[in-house]
Structure 1
């Protein structure tokens, strides 16, 4: 278990929960023992999860599945029972795709949410890029309104590399989804005007190659560390100030993403 003074939280895009668990994810969870883990791209339905993946290494799973089989879906595995579970953020186009799950842990001392979110990818073509822009347009006011009410950490595959240090080949990717000027400007706005904090960058402001969390399955991207930093902890300032240590685990591969773990000096 995480110590009473440090709350250990992991985010990981699974690229399929069945695939990730065949690669040793459950043993890793037992060994590293996070208090909570946000997961994205579950690529399963309730019937697939029930009795097999509804708990992993002592963590209970909560999920928001996509209507489409084998697609998207997010979840949070937690050692602690939430006071409320909210699936979706009120926008049918994206709620149907299973992209947002919020667990609330409310006590007299703190109103706190842990969110697992999977932002759309626009890499498959213009239609999906437009969907990505629509998602950014609607998630922004939702997060700003939530920030006015409570502290939270959004764990997720945001599918945006914010700065040039966040991907290997930034010069050749300036016209590609994930590093488009409009996407990067959205992230800048979220961190400046909306006031959320990129927790990894707060702890490691200058890290380059070690910061990557995703590698294409094409070519030798993993072997050559031609990666992107697409996975984030985005937190309200009071919570971000409690972040003590961040680690990207690369000794094993459970998917095309690496687990991003941050330890915070608080408990729920």
Structure 2
């Protein structure tokens, strides 16, 4: 008999601020079994004060206090934890956290990932390229090692025109650069097949599945992030940059893909909305 596991991911934009604005009420009512968070911007003691009462927690803090930070909170016990990707000299702290679980006797790996936002033609973008390279390498390994694996988080790239409301004005900006999108095309191309990224970079598929796109179909969005500036939220001028990326075997088990968009601008507790999916393990 399979167990339905509800897994949610959200960039909390600072967990202490999110809790002041109502995140705790959302979490209490949502029936989440595993929660992956990005941009936590808090230390372990501060997070423990907010998320306790039966939750198992793992936190990967950034090198600089008050920056980035990823965490996984779970109602089921945590297994092995892995924290860093890329070469030893590369600082991936606060951006990658892998946790193994055992669910109904089956091994499951969940990753909370926070990709750099980047900035075209600056050192910030160079760091993003390095992270995307390290991420692609690790995801190839994960895909080979595990039947049931899930990478979730704020990946800070819209894969194609459906993922950004105003995509034409962003083709030269970080988050929608053709080279960035190429990493995602390779990620979502069947394993070993030739990829055809928009930037012409080629490569072969890593064989992962974009659960959000597969569940939503060929539609604009649905978006997961809206700027706090202007009327972006009210006019739904958003970006779909928060993902559930699953191995094919896990993707087959996905249902009830939902973006928990706030009912109104003043009811938001983050500029991102949680992405929630049920998986039959």
Q: TM-score, normalised by structure 1?
A: 0.91
Which whole-Å CA distance do the structure 1 matches of 2:169 and 2:209 have between them? 27
Tell me what 1:221 maps to: 232
Q: State which of 32, 37, 43 in structure 2 corresponds to 1:34.
A: 32
Query: How big is the shift at 1:97?
Result: 3.1
Q: Does 1:197 align with 2:224?
A: no
Question: Which consecutive unaligned segments of at least 5 residues does structure 2 have?
Answer: 190-204
Structure 1 counterpart of 2:276: 261
Aligned mates of 2:33, 2:173 — CA distance in 1: 36
Alignment of 1:76-91 (within 5 A): 76-89=72-85, 91=87
Aligned to 1:165: 162
> Contact conserved, 1:68 with 1:97, CA < 8 A, in 2?
no
Counterpart of 1:143? 139
- The alpha-carbon distance between structure 1 residues 206 and 33, as it changes in their structure 2 partners (threshold 3 A), is same
Over 6 Å off, 4+ runs = none
RMSD: 2.0
3-state secondary structure, aligned to 2:139: helix
**How far apart, CA to CA, are the structure 2 residues paired with 1:173 and 1:103?**
34
Query: Could you tell which deviates more after superposition, 59-68 or 30-39?
Result: 59-68
Deviation at 1:94, TM superposition (A): 5.3
Question: Gaps (5+ residues) in structure 1?
Answer: none
Equivalence map 1:102-251=2 (5 Å): 102-106=98-102, 109-123=105-119, 126-150=122-146, 151-192=148-189, 193-209=205-221, 211-251=222-262
TM-score normalized by structure 2?
Answer: 0.87
Q: Give the Cα separation in 2 of the matches to 1:92 and 1:219.
A: 41
What is the CA–CA distance in structure 2 between the aligned matches of 1:94 and 1:256, rounded to whole Å? 28
CA gap 1:182/1:69 in 2 versus in 1, 3 angstroms:
same
**Number of equivalenced pairs:** 261
Shift of 1:153: 0.5
**What's the secondary structure of 1:155's corresponding residue?**
strand
8 A contact 2:120–2:173 mirrored in 1? no
Secondary structure at the aligned position of 2:232 is classed as coil
Deviates more, 1:155-164 or 1:211-220: 211-220
Q: Please report how far the alpha carbon of residue 205 of structure 1 lies from its aligned counterpart in structure 2 after TM superposition.
A: 1.6
CA distance in 2, matches of 1:124, 1:80: 41
Once residues 68 and 36 of structure 2 are traced to their aligned partners in structure 1, the CA distance between those partners, rounded to angstroms, is 13
In structure 2, the partner of 1:8 is: 6
CA contact (8 A) 2:86 2:92 kept: no
User: 1:35 touches 1:78 (CA, 8 Å); kept in 2?
Assistant: yes
Q: Distance in 2 between matches of 1:205 and 1:135?
A: 29
3-state secondary structure, aligned to 1:128:
helix
Deviations, residues 19-40 of structure 1 (Å, cap 9, x unaligned): 1111111111111111111000
Which deviates further from its counterpart, 180-189 or 199-208? 199-208
What whole-Å deviation, never above 9, does each CA across 1:160-209 have from its counterpart, x for those lacking one? 00010111001111111100000111100011100000001111122314
**CA–CA distance in structure 1, aligned partners of residues 87 and 43 of structure 2:** 20
